[in-house]
Amino acid sequence: MYKCAFSITLGLVFSFTIACQDRRMLAGKSATDSIAEANGSQQSRKMIREIEADVRASRQYTGKQHLDPRVMDVMARVPRHEFVPLTERVQAYENRPLSIGQGQTISQPFIVALMTDLLELEPDDIVLEVGTGSGYQAAVLAELVSKVYTIEIVEPLGRAAAERLGRLGYRNIECRIGDGYAGWPEQAPFDAIIVTAAAQHLPPPLVEQLAPGGRLVVPVASGLLEEQLVVVTKSESGSIQTREVLPVRFVPLTGEH
């Protein structure tokens, strides 16, 4: 079983847009930051090897011998240590979830990579993420697509993630504080949607907001104590196909549903 990132709870507060400088223009890094980056590069390579091992170990479920090289390249580049508290940075590149405060966690790198791969993203795609957390998954997505809309119900996490993503130079991410179950209808349709908490059923608003030809990746409860990572594909005619990929264990998706 694989565990995920964080819980989603009820509420719809407000939205805000990240505005930031290009990452190449960022300056004034401390010596501690430089050391962290150097150590992170080495640890990141180890993390990638562990993700690759998990991909091989789970191939009986996923049918995958390897993930898209573009996804793996982004997983190697995005500085995971930037998305965890200082107290967790020594473990930032371990292939497991880590605490990010507010009783929430950052997802296991293997799960982030697999869910991203299952979306089959293209450079001009527009993506919705339900559950921003610390912003790590949004950063991974933003490296691969044109635009990312991300929703977080826990206000302190959402605000901190927006600041962090802005500081790191991500221009193509827009954040909202609110109930992700309802999606983001005014920005729909989306070429891809990713949900980082377990739903009791496929959320109708998210299926509706998926563009023809789009893909939704979401953990869905399949029994009292069982969940499956599900890929939903919408055809050009609007018909829906679902495929169970992997047994998982996620925190529940909650909200007005």
Give, as one character, the DSSP assignment of residue 199.
Answer: B
Burial call 182-203: b when 16+ CB within 10 Å, e when fewer? bbbeeebbbbbbbbbbbbeeeb
Rounded Cα gap, residues 168 and 22, in angstroms:
8
Structural contact between residues 149 and 178, judged by C-beta atoms closer than 8 angstroms: no
DSSP 115-137: HHHHT---TT-EEEEE--TTSHH
Q: Token pair 């339900």 is at which residue?
A: 130
- Could you tell me the CA-to-CA distances from 186 to 128, 146, 149, 182, 209 in Å, in that order? 12, 17, 11, 11, 10
Q: Of the residues 7, 44, 99, 107, which is catalytic?
A: 107
Spatial strand order of the sheet with 210-221 comes to: 14-17, 173-177, 147-152, 126-130, 190-195, 210-221, 227-234, 240-248
Rounded Cα gap, residues 239 and 257, in angstroms:
23
Structure tokens at 105: 């966690």
Helix (H, G, I), strand (E, B) or coil at 52: helix
Beta strands in 83-239 (DSSP E): 98-101, 104-106, 126-130, 147-152, 173-177, 190-195, 210-221, 227-234
Structural contact between residues 216 and 238, judged by C-beta atoms closer than 8 angstroms: no
Q: Is 107 a catalytic residue?
A: yes
Catalytically active residues, by annotation: 107
